[in-house]
């Protein structure tokens, strides 16, 4: 009796090959994402100090969040910061639609709008901190000299003006990045549709509302999700532009950084990180469901 070697079906062989190709990526994802997430969750159950070590306290850090006014203030500021998302979508889409038109110097304008994206945030943050300075800032100088206001505006020291100022910087930096995404989407819209609508007598507003925007829904969804998550996790702009502001004027990520690296309470900072992760996860899921419902026929 001759025993022949067992052969896997073609479909199973392909799945096995695909699994082996994905294995390094899965291993890296587990090592650098899932394991740190699990460690942060466990660290949030400890009173941990880098010098003294950790003491297991269960969910006490998470319970302390409900009595922490700084947590609620910074969470509120993070939610307010999400308001940059619709502004970014509208401005980026408008800029992309203008640059798409065959106008002179559009390549130069495209470069100018994208320049803040490639400029290091440290440089732009310091520049804006100087421009918004109450005493020697260029913006206050122009406001006073032009007669708009007799007094300087407290751009960086008065809440909520300082938070709105940083939100403006975020919008200024983000327009160029999201403009590129919208430009890619606009390039994929068939010109025949627009030409046919022009022949039918449709105005620019009608073409935008009934052709451009519906066909750009995938790009709008992508920009909405990316910009929302970026707004929730914003830190660098806050840290550079508002270095001396009270923690109640900052965001949840800034509070987490201060707790971990200034107060060295890594356990409580980890609990803040877990809450931030859950908030981002729930917010992203709700956005996806709302966008899916809005795009359903």
CA distance 214 to 190: 13
**Residue 2: per-residue pLDDT:** 54
Q: Residue 97 falls within a domain, yes or no?
A: yes
**Residue 113: per-residue pLDDT:** 86
Return the half-sphere exposure (C-beta side, CA atoms, 13 A cut-off) of residue 74: 28
Q: Residue 167 falls within a domain, yes or no?
A: yes
Coil, strand or helix at 1: coil
Question: Taking the model in full, what pTM does it have?
Answer: 0.86
**Residue 22: per-residue pLDDT:** 87
Q: Identify the domain containing residue 167 by its residue range.
A: 83-245
**Residue 179: per-residue pLDDT:** 94
Say if CB 191 and CB 279 are below 8 A apart: no
Q: Residue 37 falls within a domain, yes or no?
A: no
Q: Residue 111 falls within a domain, yes or no?
A: yes
- Closest C-alpha among 83, 109, 115, 82 to residue 96: 109
Q: Residue 205 falls within a domain, yes or no?
A: yes
Q: Residue 104 falls within a domain, yes or no?
A: yes
User: Which pLDDT tens digits describe the chain residue by residue (297 residues)?
Assistant: 455 555 555 566 677 888 888 889 999 989 998 999 999 999 999 998 887 888 899 999 999 999 999 999 999 999 999 999 999 999 999 999 988 887 777 788 888 888 999 999 999 999 999 999 988 899 999 999 998 888 889 999 999 999 999 999 999 999 999 999 999 999 888 888 888 888 888 888 888 888 888 899 989 988 998 999 999 999 999 999 998 889 899 999 999 999 999 999 999 999 999 999 999 999 888 888 877 775 555
Q: Residue 286 falls within a domain, yes or no?
A: no
Report the number of secondary-structure helices (H) and strands (E) in the chain.
Answer: 16, 2
Q: Residue 184 falls within a domain, yes or no?
A: yes
**Residue 160: per-residue pLDDT:** 92
**Residue 208: per-residue pLDDT:** 86
* Cα torsion through 242, 243, 245, 247, rounded to 10: 100
Q: How many independent structural domains does the chain possess?
A: 1
**Residue 161: per-residue pLDDT:** 94
CATH of residue 145's domain is 1.10.3720.10
295: CB partners within 8 A, 6+ apart:
217, 221
């Amino acid at each position: 009796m001759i025993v022949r070697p067992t052969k896997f079906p073609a479909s199973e062989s392909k799945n096995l090959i695909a699994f082996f190709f994905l294995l390094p990526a899965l291993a890296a994802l587990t090592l650098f994402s899932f394991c740190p997430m699990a460690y942060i969750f466990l660290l949030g159950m400890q009173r941990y100090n880098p010098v003294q070590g950790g003491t297991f306290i269960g969910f006490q850090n998470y319970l302390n969040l409900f009595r922490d006014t700084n947590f609620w203030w910074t969470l509120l500021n993070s939610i307010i910061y999400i308001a940059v998302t619709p502004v970014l979508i509208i401005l980026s889409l408008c800029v992309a639609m203008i640059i798409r038109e065959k106008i002179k110097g559009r390549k130069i304008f495209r470069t100018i709008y994208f320049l803040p994206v490639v400029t290091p945030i440290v440089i732009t943050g310091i520049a804006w901190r100087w421009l918004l300075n109450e005493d020697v800032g260029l913006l206050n100088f122009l406001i006073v000299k032009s007669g708009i206001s007799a007094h300087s505006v407290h751009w960086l020291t008065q809440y909520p003006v300082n938070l709105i100022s940083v939100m403006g910087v975020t919008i200024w930096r983000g327009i160029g990045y999201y403009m590129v995404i919208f430009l890619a989407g606009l390039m994929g819209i068939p010109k025949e549709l627009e030409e046919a609508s022009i022949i039918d007598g449709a105005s620019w507003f009608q073409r935008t509302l009934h052709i451009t925007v519906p066909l750009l829904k995938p790009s709008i969804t992508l920009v909405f999700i990316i910009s929302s998550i970026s707004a929730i996790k914003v830190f660098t702009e806050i840290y550079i532009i508002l270095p001396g502001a009270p923690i109640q004027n900052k965001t949840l990520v800034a509070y987490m950084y201060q707790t971990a690296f200034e107060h060295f309470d890594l356990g409580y900072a980890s609990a803040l990180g877990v809450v931030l992760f859950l908030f981002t996860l729930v917010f992203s899921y709700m956005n996806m469901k709302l966008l899916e419902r809005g795009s359903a026929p």
